[in-house]
Structure 1
């Protein structure tokens, strides 16, 4: 048996959603840095190509996750992972400063995760 088959559903979902979010973040925002001098439709086509990989991970993540998690849990989990991926992207890839507001937003999302998973 492989390590993948031994992982609990929640961890499979988190790993797939995390990888999916890396592609999504690049698809949505990297063109602002890398393709700023290109027409919008070129950026859109390239972003669409990157987003394909996001969907190839996101759809199985939600299908696997839905076997144990509610839709609300999947959505809140997705949002928490999105911020976890987005902050390092903004700081390290886009070169923007880290802001204290990211911490406050993260704490609000942790609260949402707590309330949606507490039962």
Structure 2
């Protein structure tokens, strides 16, 4: 069960991360008050969002780590994090930011990431 909670918390964490890192490039510009902010203001807003990223990410990794009773090694946690990051980012870019379309090379790249997960999780 710790593994499931870890995955859910990592997903929520990545939602905050995506908006902290990329929201100001497209989505937040549409808000009048945000468009008036200088770089310093944008950085502060992004840091505020990133705080919530860490509020979810740190417990996710602690719960999921095998030395804390979770099911994942450090390598496994990192690979899981990357796959979740790219999945959340892709969904946000296509459906929320609406700046990009999912292309064949994205799908192939994600397939290679799934292959990486397989290789990292396989017991040799």
Q: Report how far residue 90 of structure 1 moved.
A: 0.6
- Aligned CA RMSD, in angstroms, stands at 1.3
1:26 to 1, 19, 25: 19
For 1:59, the equivalent position in structure 2 comes to: 58
> For the residues of structure 2 that align with 1:47 and 1:53, how far apart are their CA atoms?
10
Aligned residues: 112
Q: Which runs of 5+ in 1 are unaligned?
A: 1-7
> For the residues of structure 2 that align with 1:111 and 1:16, how far apart are their CA atoms?
23
> For the residues of structure 2 that align with 1:26 and 1:61, how far apart are their CA atoms?
19
Partner secondary structure for residue 97 of structure 1: coil
> For the residues of structure 1 that align with 2:110 and 2:3, how far apart are their CA atoms?
20
> For the residues of structure 2 that align with 1:42 and 1:99, how far apart are their CA atoms?
34
Deviation larger for 73-82 or 96-105: 96-105
2:89 to 82, 86, 89: 86
For 1:41, the equivalent position in structure 2 comes to: 40
> For the residues of structure 2 that align with 1:102 and 1:40, how far apart are their CA atoms?
31
For 2:74, the equivalent position in structure 1 comes to: 71
Deviation larger for 9-18 or 70-79: 9-18
Which portions of structure 1, spanning 4 or more consecutive aligned residues, are displaced by more than 6 angstroms?
A: none
Deviation larger for 95-104 or 59-68: 95-104
Q: Report how far residue 101 of structure 1 moved.
A: 1.8
> For the residues of structure 1 that align with 2:38 and 2:114, how far apart are their CA atoms?
38
TM-score (norm 2): 0.85
Does 2:29 match 1:15? no
Per-residue deviation, residues 68-118 of structure 1 (Å, max 9, x unmatched): 211000000000101110111111122122222210111011011101111
TM-score (norm 1): 0.88
